[in-house]
Homo-oligomer: A and B are copies of this chain.
Amino acid sequence: MTGSVVIAGLGPGSETLVTPEVSAALAKATDVVGYIPYVARVAERPGLTLHPSDNRVEIDRSRHALEMASEGRNVVVVSSGDPGVFAMASAVFEAVEAGPEEWRNLDIQVLPGITAMLAAAARAGAPLGHDFCAINLSDNLKPWALIEKRLRLAAEADFAMAFYNPRSKSRPEGFEKTLRILQDACGDARPVIFARAVSTPDEQLSVVPLTECTPEMADMRTMVLVGSSTTRIIERDGAPIVYTPRSVKA
C-alpha cells in the first residue's frame, strides 16, 4: 500500500490547456482535493472521491491530502494554472515540513500547468518576451512594504511585470497604490494588459497606457501585465499586438 500526492496544474480554465500528464494523473487518482471551483472541473467517476474545500484553507487541505496518501491513497491536489506559481505546491510543502517525519518520504510530485500570466501574454502577443518578473499583489501573507519595494526595484530593472491577485474586495487599495508607484517610477505610457478569465467564456482583454490605468480595471480574476520600457504595440484591425522585442540596444 503505497500512496502518493500529485500536485497538478489545471491551467487557466480551458480543457484544451490541460496537459496529458495531468489528465493521466487524474485518471489514476482515488481522491482529488482542492478549492471548490477547481475540483468542479474534475469529472466524477466510480472509485474517485472529490474533496472540494473553501478558499484560504490551503494548509488544512494539504494536511488532508498528505494524511490520505499516508493511508495508501493516490491523491491529486488540483490547482489552477501552474501549482508552483502562487498556488498549492508551496502550501503542500509547508505542511510537509511542519508535519510528521514520515510525510517527507511520501511519493510527492508536482505536475506543471499553463500559468495565468503566460496564457494572458499569449492572448496579447508576447509582452513577456524579454526579462520579466511575477509578483503576487496580495498582502495577506507578506507586508505591503515588501510589495512596494519589489515594484520600485522591478521598475528600475526595467522588467516587464506580471501581477497575480491584483485586487480583491477586502483590499481594494493595494492596486491603486501599485498604479501610483508604477506611474511615478516608469514615467511613461507603456502598455498595460488587463486579461480577465483568460481561456474561459468570460474572457476579456484590454490594453491601456500606464498613464490611463485606473484601479477598477482589475479584479481577482484579472492578470495584469505591464510592459518594459521597450515593449511595443502593433496597431491593426481589431485588438493590437503587444510584444517586447528580444533585443535591447547598448
Q: Which residues of A contact B (CB under 8 A)?
A: 11, 14-21, 24, 58, 82-87, 89-91, 93-94, 96-97, 104-105, 108-115, 118-119, 121-123, 125-136, 141-143, 145-146, 149-150, 153-154, 156-159, 232, 234-237, 241, 243-250
Contacts and interface: CB of A to CB of B under 8 A. Distances in A.
- Please give the count of copies of this chain that the complex contains: 2
A65 to B, nearest CB: 15
Given A129-B89, A153-B157, A83 B16 contact: no
A144 to B, nearest CB: 9
B16 A105 contact: no
Contacts of A97: 232, 234
A234 B104 contact: yes
7 contacts: A17-B21, A85-B128, A91-B246, A96-B234, A112-B119, A133-B133, A141-B246
Contacts of A142: 130, 247-248, 250
Given A84-B122, A84-B126, 5 more contacts: A16-B20, A93-B245, A104-B234, A104-B237, A143-B249
A93 B235 CA distance: 12
B17 A18 contact: no
B91 A121 contact: no
Given A20-B20, A157-B149, A232-B97, A121 B112 contact: yes
A150 B146 contact: no
A177 B205 CA distance: 40
A79 to B, nearest CB: 11
Which of A91, A96, A159 has the most C-beta atoms of chain B within 10 angstroms of its own C-beta? A159
A91 B244 CA distance: 9
Contacts of A131: 133-136, 150
A84 B141 contact: no
A115 to B, nearest CB: 7
A246 B149 CA distance: 17
A111 B122 contact: yes
Contacts of A122: 82-84, 89, 109-112
A126 B248 contact: no
B157 A241 contact: no
A161 B168 CA distance: 27
